[in-house]
Amino acid sequence: MPVSYRDAGVSIAAGDRVTAAARKAARATARPEIVAGVGGFGAIFRIPRGYRRPLLVTSTDGVGTKLRIALMMKRHDTIGIDLVAMNVNDILTLGAEPLAFLDYYVTDKLAPRVAADVLKGIARGCRLAGCSLIGGETAEHPGCFLPGEYDLAGFTVGVVEEDHLVDGRRILPGDVVIGLPSSGLHSNGYSLVRHLCFDKAKLSLQSRPAELSVRLGEELLRPTRIYVPVVRTLPPKMIKGMAHITGGGMTGNLPRILPKGCAARVKLGTWPIPPIFHLLQRLGPVKHAEMFTTFNMGIGFVLVVGRRDADTVLSALKQQRERAYVIGEITRAPRRAEPQVVLA
């Protein structure tokens, strides 16, 4: 009896249905620079008009084990927002405008409805970031995943004018550190989160601990903030450095943009810490230092500006109804010392 690819666990028909859903999702994100997008062997787009000396900026990332929460909740329409956010926020730190996004979706057996929900989230994230979903890859890998499981990765391309590149080189002692609030956990630290909530405390996704105003599952699935719409409106010359606070927390990410001879003194208590972090610390208990090296603790994105420009930047953020907090300053460090964050 003849054997088909479907007999081996791969459905070309299901793949075609997902591709059709991807085309529909992509159309809603199309920028005018797109020449060819989803469906071909490669996507094509132009550099936007107005750039004189454009630099392309790229990034790739996933959503980590937050994906396990989406699978447990059987809700897949927000995890795509996280996927876009983790990528576009990274290139934003260099001052880049996100242009294009690609995704990689792999599973044991395609469930077109699940894949379509994931794509809806990706398209929504792209619209929030102002970039286009221009392609990706959908694959079935029978025998490599448990039934119903899938994994995601994202890739983004952006552009920045060379004169507006933000790389931290201009940062000096005395500069001001401004924090923009996170929406919660974002997409980092979920291995510890799951250990604390489910293994140690035996909570369920339907639990409603005293610290939270929503059920635990809803809080854990809250999408990562996309900072592009806010940050891209700020005067580029006034921004000396930017950091996306992801895995490693404030202490692990802010030093990545500091020149040698500089440290960041971050003053605790200058911003509100969301309740989810208080819950996790209680469930451990987790040491204070461990919290700040694992989670964003309520600050998802950091700006470093000159002291004379701080009020202008804060005013621009206020005009957008964006909460912002002066959370510290840049200090002088020993010449040979590596850049670091001091929590005071």
- As a whole number of angstroms, the longest Cα–Cα distance in the chain is 79
Q: Where in the chain is the domain with CATH 3.30.1330.10?
A: 6-164
Answer whether 55's CB lies under 8 Å from 171's CB: no
pLDDT band with cut points at 50, 70 and 90 for residue 3:
very low
**pLDDT class for 299, splitting at 50, 70, 90?**
very high
* CATH architecture label of 6-164: 2-Layer Sandwich (3.30)
Residue whose C-alpha is closest to residue 104's, from 75, 67, 129:
67
**pLDDT band at residue 15 under the 50/70/90 scheme:** low
Q: In what order do the strands lie in the sheet with 132-140?
A: 54-61, 150-161, 97-107, 132-140
H helices then E strands: how many in the chain? 11, 12
Band (338; pLDDT cuts 50, 70, 90):
confident
Angle of helix 112-129 relative to helix 79-92, nearest 10 degrees, comes to 30
CATH 3.90.650.10 in the chain: give the residue spans.
176-343
Taking residues 275-301, report their average pLDDT.
96
User: How does pLDDT run across 209-268, given as a tens digit for each residue?
Assistant: 999 999 999 999 999 999 999 999 999 899 999 999 999 999 999 999 999 889 999 999
Give the CATH class of 176-343: alpha beta
- Say whether pTM exceeds 0.75: yes
Tally of residues, the chain: 344
Interval 78-101 mean pLDDT: 97
Q: Which residues pair with 154 in a beta bridge?
A: 61, 103
What pLDDT, on the 0 to 100 scale, is given for residue 259?
93
Average pLDDT over residues 301-309: 97
> pLDDT of 85-96, one tens digit each?
999 999 999 999
- Residue 329 neighbours by CB under 8 Å, 6+ apart: 174, 175, 176, 177, 264, 265
What residues have CB less than 8 Å from 87, skipping those under 6 apart?
59, 60, 61, 98, 101, 154, 155, 156
User: For the segment 124-153, what is each residue's pLDDT rounded down to a tens digit?
Assistant: 999 999 999 988 889 999 999 999 999 999
The highest-confidence range among 30-39, 317-326, 333-342, by mean pLDDT, is: 317-326
pLDDT higher than threshold 90 for residue 80:
yes
| CB of 65 closer than 8 Å to CB of 191 | yes
